[in-house]
Amino acid sequence: MTAIFNDELHEDFGTWPLAYIPYGGADFGEVRMIAEAIGDGNDNAYYEAWKAGADRLEAEADAALVKGHATSARELYLRASAFYAASFHPLYGAPVDPRLVAAFRLQIDALHKGLELGPNPVYPLRIPFGNLSLPAYLIPAEGHAAEVRPLIIFNNGYDATITDMYFASAVAASRRGYHSLLFDGPGQGAMLYEQGVPLRPDWQTVIRAVVDLAMTQPIIDARRIALSGWSLGGHLAPRGASGEPRIAALVADPGTWSIADLFRDVIVRMFGIAPEAAANLGELEQSVIDRVDAFIRNNRELNWKVVQRGFWVHGVDNLRAYLASAELFTMKGRAELIQCPTLITQAESDPLSAGAPAFFEALRCPKTLMRFTEQEGAGGHCEMGNRSLLNRRVLDWLDEQFAQQI
């Protein structure tokens, strides 16, 4: 596909809102004009262009609201939230860029304004979690807001936000008649950006707290609670379901067995390391660590994924500590604990999907492997080129699972 943005990293992030077009998050022309405004500019230009677009949409929303056009205002506020969310990802890393926090707060403010203007206003919730509380939103099923309905808990990954999850998943689920619960866990969204809380491997403790909150909501059918994770959520959600028997169906998009395995294969292949020497990446010889670190830092995309994002999300400041942390994120000894029907996705050209078939084989529960192809326009990461196809197929599968449980 012809790129819209001149910079590859900008293309990766800037095309996310295209996946939201069917759900009101953007239009193609808006994204294309932002790409033209950035041109050959750097990450600062990328941030400024997206923020200017978001500011314009929010100003239009304010004006529409003054004139009594609440429906238009709602649509514009939500779209502004998506644009603010798109603005700051290249700025990832510690110490936290104040522009990232400012844009995130504008994003959440716009999201709140939009959700409160709906026919069934949505207000933020808090999930008790030890001495913390996690931000959450309960999005009602369209046309069934007060009815007891099945729930889908949507689980983010490394770097998307609640706004992204709303457009990528929750709108489609709501239209299909599902209530949706969106949240930021440790290492995600507000928990990372504003509180500096890092990611944790024992995600079953997080999901237990999320389900506890769900059980207090009178509109939730406690027998039919699904958990769906995208990107790194394709690891976190299965890890969560492995310790939470109240989950009645699980979706992993894509199914990801381990964070460390994604690095292990590359290190063995590219750096000539014996497989046994790479059995625990946190224990690699320092000379190997230094070579890998230099390789990562000299590659713009890898530097963003590992140094800017990975170090920050895991709460570390060096490659050895990051790799040692990554080793803790595994389904070894956990996959066989999942008992509910499970759907694993595999997108044809997504490297993160490569281990999905092996993950699928390790499961002992009722299971389905669902493949997506380039020919369908859905071969990329999380099927973002045709997200509506993913939503249709996954929701069809979920309809079938829950119909059997009535």
For 63, the 3-state DSSP assignment is: helix
Rg (CA), the chain: 21
- Find residue 186's DSSP bridge partners: none
User: According to the model, what pLDDT value does residue 405 have?
Assistant: 59
Structure tokens at 271: 């750096």
Q: Are 326 and 278 in contact (CB under 8 A)?
A: no
Residue corresponding to tokens 């314009």: 56
Rounded (5°) CA angle 135-188-336 = 100
For 349, the 3-state DSSP assignment is: coil
pTM for the model: 0.96
User: Of 3.40.50.970, 3.20.20.80, 3.40.50.1820, 3.40.50.150, which CATH number belongs to 125-258+329-406?
Assistant: 3.40.50.1820
Structure tokens at 183: 């949240």
> For the chain, which residues make up each domain, given as ranges?
1-118, 125-258+329-406, 259-326
For 143, the 3-state DSSP assignment is: coil
Query: Is 1-118 a domain of CATH 3.10.20.310?
Result: no
377: left (phi over 0), alpha (psi -120 to 50) or beta: left
pLDDT digits (tens, 9 = 90+) for 362-386: 999 999 999 999 999 999 999 999 9
359-398 burial code (b ≥16 CB/10 A, e <16): bbebbeeebebbebeeeebbbbbbbbbbbeebbebbbebb
User: According to the model, what pLDDT value does residue 1 have?
Assistant: 62
The secondary structure of 113-135 as a DSSP string is: HHHHTSSS----EEEEETTEEEE
* Torsional sign, CA 235, 240, 242, 245: negative
Give the distance from CA 298 to its chain's centroid. Answer: 26
pLDDT tens track, the chain, 406 positions: 689 999 999 999 999 999 999 999 999 999 999 999 999 999 999 999 999 999 999 999 999 999 999 999 999 999 999 999 999 999 999 999 999 999 999 999 999 999 999 899 999 999 999 999 999 999 999 999 999 999 999 999 999 999 999 999 999 999 999 999 999 999 999 999 999 999 999 999 999 999 999 999 999 999 999 999 999 999 999 999 999 999 999 999 999 999 999 899 889 999 989 999 999 999 999 999 999 999 999 999 999 999 999 999 999 999 999 999 999 999 999 999 999 999 999 999 999 999 999 999 999 999 999 999 999 999 999 999 999 999 999 999 999 999 965 4
Q: Are 4 and 15 in contact (CB under 8 A)?
A: yes
The secondary structure of 145-173 as a DSSP string is: TTS-EEEEEEE--SS--HHHHIIIIIHHH
In Å, what is the CA distance from 212 to each residue of 129, 157, 204, 207, 209?
Answer: 10, 21, 12, 8, 5
Q: Are 171 and 137 in contact (CB under 8 A)?
A: no
User: According to the model, what pLDDT value does residue 239 have?
Assistant: 98
Q: Are 140 and 219 in contact (CB under 8 A)?
A: yes
**Which of 223, 233, 236, 175 minimizes the C-alpha distance to 391?**
175
In Å, what is the CA distance from 137 to each residue of 15, 83, 170, 225, 375?
Answer: 25, 19, 10, 16, 35
Structure tokens at 393: 């197929």
pLDDT digits (tens, 9 = 90+) for 146-196: 999 999 999 999 999 999 999 999 999 999 999 999 999 999 999 999 999
